[in-house]
Amino acid sequence: MLPAPGLVLRSSFFSLAAATLLVPVTRGAAESSGSDRLVVLSPSEAMFQEIARLETILGELEGMGSAEAPALAARIQPLRARMERARESAGQFGTTAEPTPALRQIVQDHNTFTERVRADWVALCRDAAALLKSHRLQAPSILDQTARKLLRSGKFDPDQRGTRCNLFVQVVAQGLFAYEGFAGGQDANEMARTMRRDSGHWERLFDPQVDPAEEGVVLKALHRAQELGNRGRLVVVAWENTAEPPPGEESHGHVAVVLPGRPQKSTAWNMEVPLIAQAGDRVFPQNDEAKPEDHKLSEGFNKSMKLQIAVYALKPARK
């Protein structure tokens, strides 16, 4: 149903910012000075996707014996029902004519209700993030929004000393997943070796030094990488540079983090690949408007690396 003239249906993700969880609502030009149009807020599809992911993750934690997970999971269905009510209510405004004082009050009441739903959604994500971090997991929305905030901070931009892909991955691993194994200034090559050695913390999805370097094997690993990224796991993709460097120089690899989302078709790799966040020669994604196809794996790792990358997922911690 399309909104009637005079109304603007606005579906906002209510973006999360790292740690402080700032939650700006995008109002748009419809509320600019002199406009008679009203903005009708509605929960976005991304909000529904997030609580579905949290429901799965919390269910897995409950199966692992977490005492806190059931109480958090019990908040999901009532919240989902209120989100559905807000979305259905927003759709009803499509039959309404020009704004009137009575209509403005109805829209205001609807938006107030939707804002409260938003606040409860943010609270659920916040509370889940604290629990999940203690299990070396994370709410997918927190990972996504925190990665973007970090990358647009400028702190991981390349300079004359080189790129900072390793520092970015270390900060994400330590800050969001409570994993300390990358500490000590490890470069990308060392990170790849750490994951390979540390089977107590890392699940191997693919490693060319261990597994058959075949496209089918890589494709299966990449699909699994996206699946685990959507389920709150930290998934790291690493290219270990084994070439002999020139005298006096060091060989440098590359590492990136898998972001939640849907796999994207890569023409260069001729297969579907997961979404990533990286701080390399190119730093992406930095904002909410970034298109998924612009931060897929093949944008950070060229096609010659397709059979050379290693893919590892951090194992959850049992409490």
Q: What is the pLDDT of residue 127?
A: 93
Instruction: Provide the edge-to-edge strand list for the sheet that holds 235-239.
Output: 202-206, 309-314, 235-239, 254-266, 271-279, 283-284
pLDDT digits (tens, 9 = 90+) for 255-283: 999 999 999 999 999 999 999 999 999 99
For 266, phi then psi, to 5°, come to -110, 120
Mean pLDDT over each residue of the chain, to the nearest integer = 86
Q: Is the distance from CB of 37 to CB of 46 less than 8 angstroms?
A: no
Cβ neighbours around 247 below 10 Å, total = 5
pLDDT at 34 over 70: no
Q: What is the pLDDT of residue 207?
A: 98
Q: Report long-range pairs for 24-28 (Cβ below 8 Å, ≥24 apart).
A: 25/115, 25/118
The one-letter code for the residue type at 71 is A
Q: What is the pLDDT of residue 245?
A: 74
What are the angstrom distances between the C-alpha of 266 and each of 250, 270, 286?
Answer: 31, 6, 21
Q: Which helix (H) or strand (E) holds 260?
A: strand 254-266
| Weakest mean pLDDT among 8-22, 72-86, 118-132 | 8-22
pTM comes to 0.84
pLDDT at 4 over 60: no
Q: Which residue has the tokens 């990224």?
A: 229
Q: Is the distance from CB of 313 to CB of 234 less than 8 angstroms?
A: yes
Percentages of the chain per state (helix, strand, coil), in multiples of 5 = 45, 15, 40
Q: What is the pLDDT of residue 98?
A: 67
Q: Is 45 or 245 the better-scoring residue by pLDDT?
A: 45
| Weakest mean pLDDT among 15-29, 186-200, 225-239, 242-256 | 15-29
Q: Report long-range pairs for 194-200 (Cβ below 8 Å, ≥24 apart).
A: 195/236, 195/238, 195/310, 195/312, 196/310, 196/312, 200/315
Q: What is the pLDDT of residue 94?
A: 61
| Weakest mean pLDDT among 116-120, 146-150, 285-289 | 285-289
Strands 7-12 and 38-43, bridge-based pairing: parallel
Copy the structure tokens of residue 209: 């030094």
Q: What is the pLDDT of residue 22?
A: 27
Q: Is 53 or 8 the better-scoring residue by pLDDT?
A: 53
Domains parsed from the chain with CATH numbers = 7-134 (no CATH), 140-314 (3.90.1720.10)
| Weakest mean pLDDT among 33-42, 87-96, 176-185 | 33-42
pLDDT digits (tens, 9 = 90+) for 176-211: 999 999 988 899 999 999 999 999 999 999 999 999
DSSP E strand stretches across 115-249: 202-206, 235-239
Chain centroid to CA 299:
17
pLDDT at 17 over 60: no
pLDDT at 170 over 60: yes
29-61 per-residue burial string, b: 16 or more CB within 10 A, e: under 16 = ebeeeeeebbbbbbbbebbebbbebbeebbebb
